[in-house]
Amino acid sequence: MILKHVISSAVLASSFLGTGLVAQTAVPKPAAPPAAPLQLQKIGEQGKAVDPFPATNPKFFTATSPTTETVNAFLKTLWGYDSNRIWRVAAIQTTAAAGVSKVTIFVTEKTPNAKIQTTSFFVLPDGKHAIADQSGVVNFGATPFADLRKTLQDRADGPSRGPASKELLLVEFSDLQCPHCKEAQGTMDQLVKDFPNARVVYQNYPLVDIHPSAFVAAAYGVCVAKQKNDAFFPFAQAVFDTQAMLTPEDTKKTLDAAVTTAGLDPAAIATCAATPATKDEVNSSIKLAQDSGIDQTPMLSVNGHVLPLGGIPYETLKQIVAYQAELDGVTTGATLTGVPSLKPRTTPPPAKP
């Protein structure tokens, strides 16, 4: 369930770093792109593509930080999975706020008559965060997902599928009473099949303000997973399948039935779920979600790259998982067309402009 409208960096230019400005500033704006559609077609014997972007103007680069190289590395991390997307850093400017820089980007596609879009975001004085339109505050830098990747490797402790290795870690933040989370389970099952080397973790994030049965359902899930990790997934599916019965009158009966479906003793699980220790575990999982910047469900972290599970076509999601694995130098185990089983790097991948 969406608590706040958050747009992901995974969606094309209308998403993270969308075409709207975050705020107005008094600094000069880059020259506007040509009004007529641009012809991105092959010319000459060399077959080189026409450069669609206006030439950069040094007068629009008044800020010393971030550098063009860092911005390009950041955008490459976000957008590099899409080989059809191209961009140019048009401006990095000082603003009236000390240490805050405004970055303007021209972006388009490698298709004939594609139009240039302009998008802007603001880099904060720490150089590690940016404010980007409706996306709010996001991590910034050449490796923007590294810190969250490490946090989740250390703290994501929910029931899991796949290998023990956390080199390719997919963490689903989910709520057992959330209708959109129910819809996302087919996607999660397919990711498990398509990426054999991925460790896929279900992390409880009950949205207690809008789903009154979500906390106790999460507590049941914690206890089911403690008894048998693999039993959690049929339990969760049974809860999703009978989600409409999570009412004040029928929640316990519904959860007990789901435990039975998973092959465990409902009485034992109910006793476990009521203990302070189990409630503390659920609260710890909620805090992990909040510390990770998660404010809606279902959300998926791919080695720290957080994506809305309901907002991305599956084929695009596969590309992003494979690309993030390549950036991090890990293998996916995938054999399907378009998602290669990548070879590990011997050194960290360079930040490419």
Within 8 A by CB and 6+ apart from 143, the residues are: 73, 77, 351
The pLDDT value given to residue 169: 98
In this predicted structure, which of 180-184, 325-329, 335-339 has the lowest mean pLDDT?
Answer: 335-339
Q: At what angle do helices 266-273 and 251-261 cross, to 10 degrees?
A: 120
pLDDT > 90: what percent of the chain?
Answer: 77
The helix (H) or strand (E) run that includes residue 268 is helix 266-273
Asked if pLDDT for residue 27 goes beyond 90, the answer is no
Mean pLDDT value of segment 331-342: 64
Asked if pLDDT for residue 280 goes beyond 70, the answer is yes
Q: What is the layout of strands, in order, in the sheet containing 137-139?
A: 85-94, 101-109, 117-123, 129-131, 137-139
The pLDDT value given to residue 50: 77
The pLDDT value given to residue 74: 98
Question: Using CA atoms, how far apart are residues 224 and 282, in angstroms rounded to an integer?
Answer: 13
DSSP state of 265: -
The pLDDT value given to residue 174: 98
**102: burial class by Cβ within 10 Å (0-12, 13-18, 19+)?**
buried
Q: At what angle do helices 214-227 and 251-261 cross, to 10 degrees?
A: 20
> Could you tell me whether strands 199-204 and 169-174 are parallel, antiparallel, or unpaired per DSSP bridges?
parallel
The pLDDT value given to residue 49: 62
Among 78, 63, 66, 79, smallest CA distance to 123 is for 66
The pLDDT value given to residue 48: 58
The pLDDT value given to residue 309: 93
Asked if pLDDT for residue 42 goes beyond 80, the answer is no
With residues binned 3-state (H G I as helix, E B as strand, rest as coil), the percentages for the chain, rounded to 5, are 35, 15, 50
Average pLDDT, the chain: 85
In this predicted structure, which of 9-23, 167-181, 276-290, 302-316 has the lowest mean pLDDT?
Answer: 9-23
**Whole-Å CA distances, 290 to 169, 204, 279, 285, 294:** 18, 12, 17, 9, 5
Asked if pLDDT for residue 19 goes beyond 70, the answer is no
Residues forming a β-bridge with 283: none
The pLDDT value given to residue 201: 98
Mean pLDDT value of segment 103-121: 94
**Amino acid identity, position 110:** K
199 in Cβ contact with 166 (< 8 Å): yes
Superfamily of domain 147-300: Glutaredoxin (3.40.30.10)
Asked if pLDDT for residue 124 goes beyond 80, the answer is yes
Task: Name the range with the highest mean pLDDT among 4-18, 121-135, 152-166.
Answer: 152-166
